[in-house]
Structure 1
Amino acid sequence: MSTFSIFLVLIIIVSFLLVVVIMVQNPKGGGLSSSFGGGGTQQLGGVKKTTDFLDKSTWILATVLLVLILVSNIAIDGATGTTESKALDSDAATSMPAPVKPATETPATPIGTPEN
């Protein structure tokens, strides 16, 4: 398994966990739900420890995701030895040289010019 695949799998797992943790949280402020009449369904008390855990885990997962993205970029660039992305290099696909026509024995004369 290549370095790229390992980082890709880790980034996908952390991203999925971050989405789940964010979706589980209760909305803290008004936002769109309160402007459309959904603000009255919020609980006033709630469990403080669960809220703290979800809040901390959101920040930790977001930090881990950012670090994974940065480290994967450095590790992949270091493995290839280049600082340029090959995926964005438009010349990489067309790096094969164009065929060269063989030279003719006599040069062609333009039409309308007299030959000497």
Structure 2
Amino acid sequence: MFTGFLIAITIVCFLLILAIMVQNPKGGGLSSTFGSSAQIGGVQKTSDFLDKSTWTLGGILIALILLSSLAFNTGSNTGSKVLTGEETPAMPTTEISTTPEAQQEAVETATETATEEAAQ
């Protein structure tokens, strides 16, 4: 199901790119090529048609993205533990002392270990 949404999103993106590329930012675009009296697909003003199709395709794209995220979340086996009420065991905490004496002892232990490994 998620793959279907991805294919539909790709097609809508391609159509949206085409609709945007055909438009002219100055207002001419495809309509200036054919004149104002030309009819393309029964639409008299192609700029209005392209504008409406751009907004429609954008809305469809947003809807498909939202629906695909819902399909992606419902298809996964790992649900939210907050929603299901399952408790996770707490991780054991280790306390690290930052006193100068503890730091010096850690350095001496590391030095002794390194010396023993080098001797072997």
TM-score normalised per structure 1: 0.52
2:63 aligned with 1:64: no
Aligned length: 72
In the other structure, the counterpart of 2:2 is 4
> Match for residue 21 of structure 2?
23
Taking a change above 3 Å as real, the CA distance of residues 77 and 50 of structure 1, as seen in their structure-2 partners, is same
Q: In 1, Cα distance between the equivalents of 2:69 and 2:60?
A: 14
Q: Following the alignment from structure 2 to structure 1, what is the Cα–Cα distance between the partners of residues 61 and 74?
A: 20
Q: Relative contact order (alpha carbons < 8 A, sep ≥ 6): 1 or 2 greater? A: 1
Structure 2 SS opposite 1:26: coil
Please list every run of 5 or more consecutive structure 1 residues that lacks an aligned counterpart in the other structure: 30-42, 85-109
What amino acid is the match of 1:50? T
Determine what percentage of the aligned residue pairs are the same residue.
53
Q: Which has the larger radius of gyration?
A: 2
Alpha-carbon RMSD across the aligned residues, in angstroms, is 3.0
TM-score by length of 2: 0.50
1:80 aligned to 76, 79, 86, which one? 76
Deviating beyond 3 angstroms after TM superposition, the runs of 4 or more aligned structure 1 residues are 81-84
**Higher helix share goes to which structure?**
2
